[in-house]
Amino acid sequence: MQLIRRKFFGLSLVTLMLLSVFSVTAAETQPKTVHVRINVAHRGNSSVAPENTLAAYRSAIEAGADGAECDVYRSADGVVFLSHDRLPKRTMGDGDLTTMPFEQIRQFDAGSWKGERFKGEKVPSLDEYLQLLKDSTCHPVVEIKQTGIEANVLKSIRKNGMTNVTTIIAFNEGVVQEIRRLEPSICVAWLYSENLKDKGTAEENAERLADLFIERCRKLDVAVIDLAHHLLSPKLVKSLQAANIHVWTWTVNDEAAMKRYLDWGVESITTDKPALLSTVLKERKP
């Protein structure tokens, strides 16, 4: 009987190990959601209207963008709101927005710095941004700037019924992993930038960067990488695509550069000038 128990225990252990390996492999090979968002308006149409405001997103829709990027934090009372800067001195005033209740944040004038006609523009909540885009052909691209708010962001996206059209982007690897854990069906892209000073050209760094990105994307379980445009080269894009990694880039405002990156196979361009990119894309059509 003791021998039988040992054999049974050994078989059970082997079975559990095989099931564990199968589960991990199945999770890693599960198809990931990847959206087509060729023209992404950076913080809205930020070349025309004040960034991260509803005015900028209305303008992005009018400019023909099919994606509109925003930056989000959480207020002291739990409201997810739009702002690129936690400390808003550059555009609005003094203080730390994440320590304020949302109603206090709403007292800031988020528009005057861009022009008198935008005076009184308010800091919008994530819900307001989502509701504005909901009935348009311009889809949400949400950059999470603050750790620990992933569940709050997903709650708003789910509440507005936009899980299937929203892309989450983040530099922080922990944020990317937490979003993948909480909502495996949503499209997630890892943001990356690096100073190549004293390291050579983008082309000279292509092999090193490709190895880094492929290894990191597999670790993070993502199929999209969103790169600072100065890192791009034809060799890098080709290597990443061969590894089934979709390449997005930011922030590109030059027409010649837009055409060059599209020629290389970059699938999404984030720009302050979505109207210009719309024109470039129309001219490329047969």
pLDDT at 31: 75
Total tally of structural domains belonging to the chain:
1
pLDDT at 30: 58
Indicate whether this model's pTM tops 0.85. Answer: yes
- Tokens in use for 81? 């709101």
- Rounded to whole angstroms, how far apart are CA atoms 245 and 231? 15
Average per-residue pLDDT in the chain? 92
Note whether 269 and 39 are within 8 A (CB): yes
Residue type, 149: I
pLDDT at 185: 97
The CATH number assigned to the domain holding 183 equals 3.20.20.190
Q: Mark out the alpha helices in 41-149 (DSSP H runs).
A: 54-62, 102-105, 126-134
Q: Residue 3 domain-assigned?
A: no
Q: Residue 9 domain-assigned?
A: no
CA-based radius of gyration for the chain: 22
Q: Residue 84 domain-assigned?
A: yes
225-239 burial code (b ≥16 CB/10 A, e <16): bbbbbebbbebbbeb
Report the candidate in 282, 273, 228 with the shortest Cα–Cα distance to residue 255.
273
Q: Residue 13 domain-assigned?
A: no
Q: Read off the pLDDT of each residue in 2-12 and give the average, rounded to a whole number.
A: 42
How does DSSP classify residue 122?
A: P
Report the candidate in 185, 184, 188, 204 with the shortest Cα–Cα distance to residue 196.
204
List the single range of 24-33, 40-49, 82-91, 202-211 with lowest mean pLDDT.
24-33
| Confidence label for 286 from pLDDT (cuts 50, 70 and 90) | low
pLDDT at 99: 98
Q: Residue 2 domain-assigned?
A: no
pLDDT at 113: 97
CB atoms within 10 A of CB 83: 25
Instruction: Give the percent of the chain with pLDDT over 70.
Output: 89
Q: Read off the pLDDT of each residue in 136-149 and give the average, rounded to a whole number.
A: 98
pLDDT at 142: 99
Note whether 50 and 118 are within 8 A (CB): yes
Q: Read off the pLDDT of each residue in 42-56 and give the average, rounded to a whole number.
A: 98
Q: Considering Cα of 221, then 226, then 229, then 235, what sign does the dihedral take? A: positive
pLDDT at 217: 98
Report the candidate in 27, 256, 5, 37 with the shortest Cα–Cα distance to residue 168.
37
Q: Residue 213 domain-assigned?
A: yes
Report the candidate in 109, 115, 114, 131 with the shortest Cα–Cα distance to residue 57.
131
pLDDT at position 64 over 80: yes
Task: Provide the CA 205 distance to its chain's centre, in angstroms.
Answer: 24
Q: Residue 120 domain-assigned?
A: yes
Q: Residue 73 domain-assigned?
A: yes
Domain span at 60: 35-284
Q: Mark out the alpha helices in the chain (DSSP H runs).
A: 2-29, 54-62, 102-105, 126-134, 150-159, 173-182, 206-220, 234-242, 255-264, 274-284
Task: Kindly give, in sequence order, each residue whose CB lies less than 8 Å from that of residue 42, ignoring residues fewer than 6 positions away.
Answer: 51, 69, 250, 251, 270, 271, 272
